[in-house]
Structure 1
């Protein structure tokens, strides 16, 4: 009687051993001189792709860095240009300021063609021939000399050709105010009292021209109606001071800053 195949534990182990031993061909375990052709191609492609990635990253790094440097250089250049512009404008302002100061000095100081301007602006003392007008109030009704009377007299002197005028030592300038304040007349905002002495430097015919113009006729009328006294005397030499500095300074409007 022959024995059949083993079906017990030992037979199962023997079967598994045979399957394990014959799972791969014997050629697989044999040494090869070089890798298979497909493996070599795959390795080459992998290395090429890896190298391409590294090269791309390097190029992007190198390109990105100079771009940042260029932007920084552009900003620095723009700042330098603006600083140069501000410096140029500041220098121009200083130049114009110096020019204005020079013109102002030329107008206020004798010489270099500025003497006539200084005289007209009452910015310097003057000396020369002229007339002196002395005026006092009358005792009649309305005989008190008013600021308007003195204003008319000053305007009449200018109209007659006067080059410089003062009232009780107060030089008249283009900004001078002759006003009644309180109980007295003020000139250049300084009170003056009677008798009023009006000195004027001008041509030899200054007195005659004053009497002949509307201002002189007004004073003649005041003298006849209310007893106001006014006399004109010629003078070979009169000395008139400069107007106060406050009357020579011009006030200019400035722009208000807008509220935020």
Structure 2
């Protein structure tokens, strides 16, 4: 009885028959693994079945596999497909390309994030503020020219030989604010709370989330009305005279006296009987006003002055009003 033939072991592939690309378990060529025997598939299967013992012991099967098939086909396939190492030029060229791509992606991403974090309302607001400042500057220049021309007209009228001062006209112009005046009176000063301007280094009206009570146009209007009621003959706020057509209002976040911007502290000058005005505007005469302002951290101050000078109010043109007989 001849000795049964043994199944041949797996042989390495020759150099001219090596695969041209890598193969993995999930590739389409995995089905060809195990086909590198010198015998045909049928003969190898017959010899393998003839050689393998019919045993039910798992340990004997493991020993048989380790003895006759020590090299795993997948490992052999991986070893047979090793590629040649890349050159240094290709490695560094790839690194440079990847580095440039990373810089480009980071730059584009930072620009995109910066655009997302940009608030377009700030640009619009800055543009409107710049336009308003230009308009106010132009209007102030024109108003100054009109006032100067009016003063020149009055001066020329007074210098005429037959000119006689009209006391009634002078009285009306001083009452309406058309002429600069001087005299005794009081100075009523109030300012926004100090804590209200600490947020982000901005004014209290520039932060919409700030709920601290500040001086408003309504406060200034109420104080001006109280001064008129107490007998004031001429009133100015931060140097801007209150005339017959001068308004005290809020435009956005700014208080305007006519068309002029004013900010805290607010200095209200009133010409009249300084004693009567001081008594009419103290805490005893106006307890509700002082209580409301003090509760918000606003502390008004009243001081008497024996000589105040108030400029003329801005002149306006009368177009539709006509003298009535």
TM-score (norm 2): 0.41
| 1:76-225 alignment runs, 5 A limit | 111-138=166-193, 139=195, 142-203=212-273, 204-211=275-282, 216-225=286-295
Task: Indicate conservation of the 8 Å contact 2:182/2:307, yes or no.
Answer: yes
Matching of residue 244 in structure 1 with residue 314 in structure 2? yes
- How many residues align structurally? 146
In the alignment, the residues of structure 2 paired with residue 117 and residue 226 of structure 1 have an alpha-carbon distance, to the nearest angstrom, of 40
What stretches of structure 1 of length at least 5 have no aligned partner? 1-104, 255-260
Higher strand share: 1
Partner of 1:230: 300
In the alignment, the residues of structure 2 paired with residue 250 and residue 211 of structure 1 have an alpha-carbon distance, to the nearest angstrom, of 38
Relative to structure 1, is the Cα distance of residues 221 and 212 closer, same or farther in structure 2, using a 3 angstrom cutoff? closer
For the residue of structure 1 that corresponds to 2:168, the secondary structure is: coil
In the alignment, the residues of structure 1 paired with residue 253 and residue 240 of structure 2 have an alpha-carbon distance, to the nearest angstrom, of 18
In the alignment, the residues of structure 2 paired with residue 213 and residue 202 of structure 1 have an alpha-carbon distance, to the nearest angstrom, of 20
For the residue of structure 2 that corresponds to 1:229, the secondary structure is: coil
* Bigger CA radius of gyration: 1
Task: Indicate conservation of the 8 Å contact 2:191/2:265, yes or no.
Answer: yes
Relative to structure 1, is the Cα distance of residues 130 and 113 closer, same or farther in structure 2, using a 3 angstrom cutoff? same
| 1:31-42 alignment runs, 5 A limit | none
In the alignment, the residues of structure 2 paired with residue 207 and residue 171 of structure 1 have an alpha-carbon distance, to the nearest angstrom, of 20
In the alignment, the residues of structure 1 paired with residue 251 and residue 219 of structure 2 have an alpha-carbon distance, to the nearest angstrom, of 15
Relative to structure 1, is the Cα distance of residues 142 and 251 closer, same or farther in structure 2, using a 3 angstrom cutoff? farther
